[in-house]
């Protein structure tokens, strides 16, 4: 097989997994009630970033090495897996990345990064109101985190 053919197969495999991840991501949003707008999945060369939202729009970015995820399987193993098994592997990876992103969430630091008087004026809120909203969203993420941990 020449290099051009191998590249085409690699691109096809990547696009296949891209479609599977999009499907798994949509199911993930629905299952865990994370579709509050401003979410999306973004593919950048070898990575995928899945953005999820809490009700008040606090976001977590679930970032992983998508290309490496695909290549972790020897081709013979990959070919043995059925579509649902591949989706289950992606779901597990997405849950793991949610756990990682939630574990790194620091509301106070985020508040310090975002808050300024202009932000308050634009959003018609006081610092205490904004901090309360962030804490409510963190509680929403905490509930999902616990649910995922309990499922594992």
pLDDT in tens, 61-93: 999 888 888 877 777 777 788 999 999 999 999
Determine the pLDDT at residue 37.
86
- Would you place residue 104 in the very low, low, confident or very high pLDDT band (cuts 50, 70, 90)? very high
CA 54 vs CA 35, 46, 88: distances in Å: 8, 27, 24
CA atoms within 13 A on the CB side of 106: 6
- 41-60: per-residue pLDDT in tens? 999 988 999 999 999 999 99
First and final CA of the chain: distance in angstroms?
41
Q: What is the dihedral angle through the alpha carbons of 86, 90, 96, 98, rounded to the nearest 10 degrees?
A: -160
CA 51 vs CA 42, 81, 128: distances in Å: 8, 27, 26
């Amino acid at each position: 097989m020449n290099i051009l053919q191998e590249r085409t197969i690699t691109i096809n495999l990547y696009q296949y997994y891209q479609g599977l991840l999009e499907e798994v991501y949509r199911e993930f949003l629905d299952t865990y009630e994370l579709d509050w707008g401003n979410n999306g999945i973004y593919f950048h060369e070898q990575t995928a970033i899945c953005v999820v939202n809490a009700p008040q729009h606090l976001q977590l970015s679930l970032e992983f090495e998508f290309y490496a995820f695909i290549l972790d399987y020897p081709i013979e193993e990959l070919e043995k897996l059925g579509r649902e098994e591949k989706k289950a592997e992606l779901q597990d990876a997405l849950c793991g990345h949610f756990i990682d992103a939630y574990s790194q969430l620091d509301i106070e630091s985020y508040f310090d990064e975002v808050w300024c008087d202009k932000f308050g004026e634009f959003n018609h809120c006081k610092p205490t109101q904004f901090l309360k909203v962030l804490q409510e969203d963190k509680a929403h993420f905490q509930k999902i985190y616990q649910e995922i941990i309990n499922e594992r």
